[in-house]
């Protein structure tokens, strides 16, 4: 298991999924995380906009950094569910993803993320995440 706190601190390489999507962690502290995403043509669907599954994946990665910022090194986590509401199409360019742990319980956390591009809200993602 890759320790996301060490990724945040630049001590180890990010997981393969982060590299595949091109996600860059900008900050992650106290249950909040911000990542940037360089969106290119590899992520476009037949309508020439970013496929929703990629948007959801980018948010899931950012939510993982929110979780990694609050858990002990011996704790892991797993998404129970993910729900995405798309507000507008995402285009080629840079997107920003912001994630916050809204509620932390003993065994689960409720986390929200938002994707933005050019100052516009693109998608809202929610997840319940199990602490392992």
| pLDDT number for residue 10 | 86
pLDDT single digits (tens) 41-81: 999 999 999 999 999 999 999 999 999 999 987 899 999 99
Edge-to-edge order in the sheet of strand 93-104 = 23-29, 32-39, 93-104, 108-117, 120-131, 77-86
Q: Which helix (H) or strand (E) holds 61?
A: helix 52-68
Is the pLDDT reported for residue 1 higher than 70? no
Q: Where are the domains of the chain?
A: 4-131
The CATH number of the domain covering residues in 4-131: 3.10.129.10
Percentage of residues in the chain having pLDDT higher than 90: 88
| pLDDT number for residue 5 | 82
| pLDDT number for residue 73 | 79
- pLDDT band of residue 8 (cuts 50, 70, 90) is confident
- pTM, whole model, 2 decimals? 0.95
Q: What is the mean pLDDT of the chain?
A: 95
Question: Which DSSP string do the residues of 63-89 spell out, in sequence order?
Answer: HHHHHHTTS-TT--EEEEEEEEEE-S-
Going by C-alpha positions, the residue among 47, 8, 33 that lies closest to residue 127 is: 33
């Amino acid at each position: 298991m890759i320790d996301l706190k060490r990724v945040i601190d630049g001590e180890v390489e990010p997981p393969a999924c982060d590299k595949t999507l091109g996600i860059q962690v900008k900050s992650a502290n106290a249950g909040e995380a911000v990542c940037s995403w360089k969106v290119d043509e590899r992520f476009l669907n037949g309508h020439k906009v970013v496929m929703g599954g990629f948007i959801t994946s980018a948010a899931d990665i950012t939510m993982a950094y929110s979780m990694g910022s609050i858990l002990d090194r011996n704790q892991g986590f797993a998404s129970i569910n993910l729900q995405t509401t798309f507000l507008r199409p995402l285009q080629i360019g840079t997107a920003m993803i912001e994630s916050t742990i809204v509620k932390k319980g003993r065994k689960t956390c409720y986390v929200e993320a938002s994707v933005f591009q050019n100052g516009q809200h693109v998608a809202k993602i929610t997840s319940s995440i199990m602490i392992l």
